[in-house]
Structure 1
Amino acid sequence: MDRLAQLQAALKPAALDALLLTAPYQLRAFCGAQVSAGALVVTPERRVLLLDPRYQQAVKPGKVEIKPYVGIHEYARALRELFGPDAVRIGVYAPALSLADMQTLNPHGDLTFVPADALINELTSLLSSAEIEALQQAEAVTRQAIEVAFAALRPGVTERQLQQLLLSHIYQESEGPSFEPIIAFGSRTALPHAHPGMTALGQNELVTIDAGAVIDGLHADLTVTRLFGQSERAQQLIDLTQQALEAALQAVRPGVTASEVDEAARAPIRAAGLDQHTLRGIGHALGYQTHQFPILREHGQEKLQVGQVLAIEPGVYLPGFGGVRLEKMIVVTETGGRLISEWRSEERAE
């Protein structure tokens, strides 16, 4: 059963009369629509994509009915009609539906909007073999781009110059970047989300590059930190973070909770007395967004499932000195976690 069929089948158990999805990444995930605006309405009988007429050619026919609209008032009226005259409980993705949208759709207060976030998050996190293969390609492009940037390291090169090289490769080989790349030198590597600037590279400094490419709507995410020159303290941080990463990778398997993976990575960092210098989570799922549920963090009770792809990224950040983050993409398989670069399609049972 495909993702859209599973969504439709979930209506009755959830006591929903209809589901409304409006986030562009969800439109692509559920019906392959590569558009910046629209609405997918799923009822027990129908699956209808409401679109601005200009977007109709961007959608492949077959999975859904396509209904064009003109103007915001017609849009709201068409949605009400699609819900059906007896509809009361409408499932929505709460982060994507504003208060203004709810008031427009429900002027008389006869509808009840029910958050269906958990259902939608779970379905979008479970990827098919074709989707994992696309992510595998995106990961390969990302690795290549990062290596292009590291190959250009020399004293005096700036973070901004590396950013240009990195993005040039990503744009040539993919749909574009998953997010604005993070590139930092020296003490700025202690900033987990440093924006590339005009900082020039010096000797014996840490260099962090965090980037991702998009292929077929699927977002990759990798981070590499290396030492340019020599520094015993910096090398110790790299070795410790590598140990944490390997421990987390070993912990990945179906049924394990997000917090258990987080704790596996956190334990060696805590043993080194540096737990206060980490973030309170060490990863997340990937897919049609860069950050998807489950989030691998302390106290996270979501269980890993076969078909999810995780970005595991432990880091240690020492203000005034520098930081190290290492990130790999891992596929959850029946037998455990596998680096996406080593994954093969026969490991994913559809």
Structure 2
Amino acid sequence: MVAAMRAKGLEAMVITHPADVRWVSGFTGSNAAVALMGGRRRLFTDGRYTAQAKEEVQGLSVTIAKKPVAQEACAWLEKAGAKLCGFDAAVTSVAALEAMKQAVSGKVRRGFFRAVSGMVVRLREVKDTDEAETMRQAALLGCRVYDEMLGVIEAGMTEIEVAAELEYRARRAGAEAMSFETIVASGVRGGLPHGKASGKRLARGEMVTLDFGVILGGYCSDMTRTVYLSRSARFSHVEAEQKKTFDAVLEAQIRAVSAVRSGVSCAEVDEAAREVLRTAGLEKEFSHSTGHGVGLEIHEGPRVGAKQAQKLESGMVITIEPGVYLAGKYGVRIEDTVLVTEAGCEVLTPSVKSWMEL
């Protein structure tokens, strides 16, 4: 952190975004701010978290604030002699910034704050060994739940019932929470890239997309699989079309995973997937980026998309999730979470992703 602050010309920093606060301090409470100045590091929270802060926070002093935590953090920095304080403009509202300004004296207020968007978020992109292991375990927990669900999903269930069963099993298996609202999209609803589970009943002859993740140790997992609810008479014209689309998405996903390694640009990975779908005549139905970073938040940097020049680095954890969405017909998405290495990547979500009929 100190080196990153110096690179921005900052002598002090106030951190308020919960995931950033947790990454810097270990604190998981809902109300906190961290003030940094040189070697001095202090966390501010309220009286509800006195015991929790004592248990969780390491390497920082703790102050139980009587006023809003961000304001007390800024006032402390001014008292400590800071003349220039960075804040993350990407996560700080106009109202929050105004409140922080009111916490410092008028004589220093005008030049005290400097916007430095995403500095801590950028540092969080590269995971250390402990973070990577936690994410590996979260991903494997998700895979175990998915493998169980293959024996549960059947025609006649509603999408909501599938999501509820999946989430119940995840919590029973030890998940702290779900990474996001579970997506279950079947049949024509598969044409919605983020189709929330609905009351629609699953029917034979339909594709079913499941997109979900679990949180373990504060870190998120993320995976998507698309399966086919088999007809009794197989390989009708419609089924053959769906399988052809599925095969194209699977090939795109495999190609993109193969392109991942340290030093490769995010745009190159995106293009590896897009090229396959372009050849198959399906690129126009691929309406989002190929992937994104994952960590303490389900969507972090880097963005794996077209024109994204950022280079992948060893230790980054990203998703690879191309999809094809045919409005009014069906959709297919396949997603793995991978850990970037010098030589390639480690797939953290090894559950089978080939064509599967239930």
TM more than 0.5: yes
SS class of match (1:253): coil
Q: Does 1:65 align with 2:40?
A: no
SS class of match (1:94): coil
Q: Does 1:226 align with 2:227?
A: yes
Cα deviation, 1:4-34, whole Å, max 9, x if unaligned, reads xxx1222222111211111111111121111
Q: How does 1:141-220 map to 2 (within 5 A)?
A: 141-172=141-172, 173-220=174-221
Query: Is contact 2:32–2:46 with CA below 8 Å preserved after alignment?
Result: yes
Partner letter of residue 127 of structure 1? K
> How far 1:168 moved relative to its partner?
0.4
Query: Is contact 1:308–1:331 with CA below 8 Å preserved after alignment?
Result: yes
Q: Does 1:90 align with 2:85?
A: yes
> How far 1:83 moved relative to its partner?
4.2
Cα deviation, 1:46-92, whole Å, max 9, x if unaligned, reads 111111122132232432111110233x7524422224464343222
Q: Does 1:326 align with 2:321?
A: no
Partner letter of residue 61 of structure 2? E
SS class of match (2:181): coil
Q: 2:354 aligns to what? A: none
Query: Is contact 1:43–1:83 with CA below 8 Å preserved after alignment?
Result: no
Query: Is contact 1:41–1:48 with CA below 8 Å preserved after alignment?
Result: yes
Distance 1:99 1:122, change over 3 A: same
Distance 1:175 1:321, change over 3 A: same
> How far 1:341 moved relative to its partner?
5.2
Which one of the candidate residues 307, 310, 315 is aligned to 1:307?
A: 315
Q: Which moved further from structure 2: 164-173 or 104-113?
A: 104-113
Which one of the candidate residues 46, 58, 83 is aligned to 1:52?
A: 46
Distance 2:166 2:42 in 1: 40
> How far 1:265 moved relative to its partner?
0.6
Q: How does 1:4-83 map to 2 (within 5 A)?
A: 7-59=1-53, 60-72=56-68, 76-83=71-78
Distance 1:253 1:147 in 2: 28
Query: Is contact 2:45–2:65 with CA below 8 Å preserved after alignment?
Result: yes
Distance 1:199 1:144 in 2: 26
Partner letter of residue 205 of structure 2? N
Query: Is contact 1:280–1:298 with CA below 8 Å preserved after alignment?
Result: no
Partner letter of residue 179 of structure 1? F
Cα deviation, 1:197-249, whole Å, max 9, x if unaligned, reads 11001111000000000011100000000111151111111111110011101
Q: How many residues align?
A: 335
Distance 1:83 1:216 in 2: 35
* TM-score, normalising length: structure 2: 0.89
Distance 1:130 1:242 in 2: 31
> How far 1:98 moved relative to its partner?
1.1
* TM-score, normalising length: structure 1: 0.91
SS class of match (2:7): coil
SS class of match (1:47): strand
Query: Is contact 1:208–1:325 with CA below 8 Å preserved after alignment?
Result: yes
SS class of match (2:313): coil
Cα RMSD after superposing both structures: 1.7
Cα deviation, 1:139-192, whole Å, max 9, x if unaligned, reads 111112223333222221110111111110121221110001000110101101
**Identity percentage of aligned residues:** 29
Q: 1:103 aligns to what? A: 98
Query: Is contact 1:11–1:43 with CA below 8 Å preserved after alignment?
Result: no
Partner letter of residue 56 of structure 1? T
Partner letter of residue 98 of structure 2? Q
SS class of match (1:188): helix
SS class of match (1:96): coil
Partner letter of residue 102 of structure 1? L
Distance 1:197 1:36 in 2: 31
Which one of the candidate residues 239, 258, 262 is aligned to 2:266?
A: 258
SS class of match (2:150): helix
Distance 1:124 1:83 in 2: 27
Distance 1:313 1:96, change over 3 A: same
